[in-house]
């Protein structure tokens, strides 16, 4: 494909990032507002059931989502090479494979839903409501996971904004239905499940309608089903599943261990901190995910230099940009938590102080997670992730059993395990895969922590003579104003001309002609 085609392809990055940022903001607002709302409606112990369900659901999604990442890799390479026959074979085979995977998981979904009130501490909630919520939320998540077959097409054509817009509709509809059901009938876990199902059906409809618009020649047909191709994709998917299962041995497993060993109230507090971490991860991913189509395309075209340039820019940009919100939450934790949940949650501050600094490493490494998939070298990733995940679970159990640290100990265990995985393993391993130089991404990651450290010192000094009011207006206005100044400063002074040229190429053509970084 020619340079013009490459330019048009890259210019969609800004639209992808914009829609994903909007999606992230909406989801963050929803997450912030729904946590105190659910606590007010159900109480802290019963509220803990909701994140517990989504945590259990994540284990099922590990299988289907990991297969989806393997399907996306083959789809992106086929599109990058311009081979429509391969595109149709990949799409048909991936749909068949994903459908089989979901059918295999359904009996286990039913079994866990039925057993849930008897296995977990549900804070005295109605057992039938807990079972229905488990069942419907898990089924709706599998429906979203199935949509990844279509999402792989949008990613291959760098039209991820379609998926992101669909997820915006999904999120708003889901929350809207919960509020309507609660207002009309009163709070019920079962109504939350119904809201999830309805929103997922609408999301699937959006994905199907847009599929042919993006790729008019796309065909799902029995004649394109390629068992051998499905076997190869599944082989890569198996290691992706193992790696994803390992990643679920971190904060998700910690939440389950806390529930089982010290109860639902403690797990409720841990869930709030985990919810904050989840929102930060979503914000990081909203930036880093835009690099994925470019990485696949560079690989398909054999352009390693372009791949390295994209990954280095996204790695540095993700860490530097996320440093400000992470420091803001740490420095102004009393105000942020106060306007979010109200008074009486001071025990959350130490949890955030331990977990949020590690998120710098998580954010900077997010752009690198697909490199092992691109090179079909997931086995070391899977083994390392499983090993560190087991370390997290075992150390959390030991801390909870033999110390008085409680939830704080679970946070420490998670922070150590995650730092080893994201700060050391990922940058070293992906660097070796691409060019054999283990230091390739150390520089970009270094700038993320430099930014974090400088901002943290300035923030601590600021609080010495200034106290931020605990109001939504003060928190939002100061965060937005500070972030705006910070972005302008970092773009101007922390990125060199070569890095700014790479970022400029991600903008639409008409913007490139009038915009100068």
pLDDT tens for 319-354 read 888 899 999 999 999 998 888 878 877 888 888 899
Helix, strand or coil for residue 74? helix
Q: Per-residue pLDDT for the chain (517 aa), expressed as one digit of tens each?
A: 334 455 555 556 677 777 877 887 787 778 777 877 877 777 766 667 777 777 777 666 666 666 777 777 888 888 877 888 888 998 998 888 888 888 888 888 899 888 877 777 666 677 888 888 888 988 888 888 888 888 888 888 888 889 889 989 998 999 899 899 888 888 888 888 899 999 999 999 999 999 888 888 888 888 888 888 888 887 777 787 788 778 778 877 787 787 777 766 677 777 788 878 877 877 777 777 777 777 877 887 788 888 888 888 888 888 888 899 999 999 999 998 888 878 877 888 888 899 999 988 888 888 888 888 888 888 899 899 999 999 999 998 999 888 888 888 888 999 999 999 998 898 889 888 887 777 788 888 889 899 999 999 999 999 888 889 889 899 999 999 999 999 888 888 888 777 777 776 665 554 445 445 4
Decide if 410 contacts 400 (C-beta within 8 A): yes
Helices (H), 221-263: 227-247, 251-262
Query: Residue 425 has what DSSP assignment?
Result: I
Helices (H), 82-147: 84-119, 127-146
- Kindly report the number of other CB atoms within 10 A of residue 299's CB atom: 21
Q: Tell me the two tokens of residue 75.
A: 């789809």
Length of the chain: 517
Decide if 319 contacts 364 (C-beta within 8 A): yes
Rounded distance, CA 254 to CA 411, Å? 8
């Amino acid at each position: 494909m020619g340079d013009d085609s490459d330019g048009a392809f890259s210019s969609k990055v800004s639209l992808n990032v914009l829609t994903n940022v909007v999606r992230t903001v909406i989801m963050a607002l929803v997450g912030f507002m729904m946590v105190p709302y659910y606590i007010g409606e159900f109480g802290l112990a019963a509220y803990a059931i909701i994140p517990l369900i989504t945590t259990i659901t994540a284990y099922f999604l590990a299988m289907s989502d990991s297969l989806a990442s393997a399907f996306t890799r083959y789809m992106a390479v086929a599109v990058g090479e311009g081979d429509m026959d391969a595109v149709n074979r990949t799409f048909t085979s991936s749909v068949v494979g994903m459908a089989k995977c979901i059918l295999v998981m359904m009996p286990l979904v039913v079994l866990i839903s039925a057993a849930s009130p008897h296995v977990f501490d549900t804070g005295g909630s109605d057992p039938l409501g807990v079972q229905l919520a488990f069942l419907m939320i898990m089924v709706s998540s599998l429906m979203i996971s199935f949509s990844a077959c279509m999402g792989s097409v949008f990613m291959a054509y760098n039209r991820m904004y379609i998926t992101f817009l669909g997820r915006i509709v999904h999120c708003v509809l889901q929350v809207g239905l919960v509020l309507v059901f609660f207002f009309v009938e009163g709070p019920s876990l079962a109504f939350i499940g119904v809201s999830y199902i309805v929103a997922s059906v609408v999301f699937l409809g959006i994905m199907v309608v847009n599929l042919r618009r993006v790729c008019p020649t796309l065909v799902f047909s029995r004649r394109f089903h390629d068992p051998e191709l499905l076997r190869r994709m599944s082989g890569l998917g198996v290691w992706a599943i193992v790696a994803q299962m390992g990643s679920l041995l971190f904060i998700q497993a910690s939440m389950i261990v806390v529930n089982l060993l010290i109860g639902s109230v403690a797990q409720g507090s841990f869930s709030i901190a985990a919810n904050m971490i989840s929102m930060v991860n979503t914000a990081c991913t909203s930036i880093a995910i835009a690099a994925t189509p470019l990485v696949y395309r560079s690989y398909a075209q054999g352009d390693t230099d372009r791949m390295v340039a994209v990954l280095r820019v996204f790695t540095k940009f993700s860490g530097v940009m996320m440093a400000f919100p992470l420091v803001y939450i740490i420095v102004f934790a009393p105000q942020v938590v106060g306007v979010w949940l109200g008074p009486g949650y001071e025990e959350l501050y130490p949890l955030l102080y331990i977990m949020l600094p590690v998120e710098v490493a998580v954010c900077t490494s997010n752009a690198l997670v697909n490199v092992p998939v691109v090179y079909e070298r997931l086995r070391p990733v899977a083994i390392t992730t499983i090993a560190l995940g087991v370390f997290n679970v075992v150390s959390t159990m030991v801390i909870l059993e033999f110390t008085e640290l409680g939830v704080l100990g679970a946070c420490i265990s998670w922070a150590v395990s995650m730092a080893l995985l994201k700060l050391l393993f990922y940058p070293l391993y992906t660097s070796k895969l691409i060019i054999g130089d283990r230091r390739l991404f150390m520089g970009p990651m270094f700038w993320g922590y430099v930014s974090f450290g400088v901002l943290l010192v300035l923030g601590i000094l600021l609080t010495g003579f200034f106290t931020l009011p605990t109001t939504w207006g003060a928190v939002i206005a100061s965060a937005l104003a500070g972030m705006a100044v910070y972005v302008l400063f970092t773009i101007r002074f922390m990125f060199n001309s070569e890095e700014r040229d790479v970022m400029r190429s991600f903008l639409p053509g008409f913007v490139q002609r009038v915009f100068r970084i």
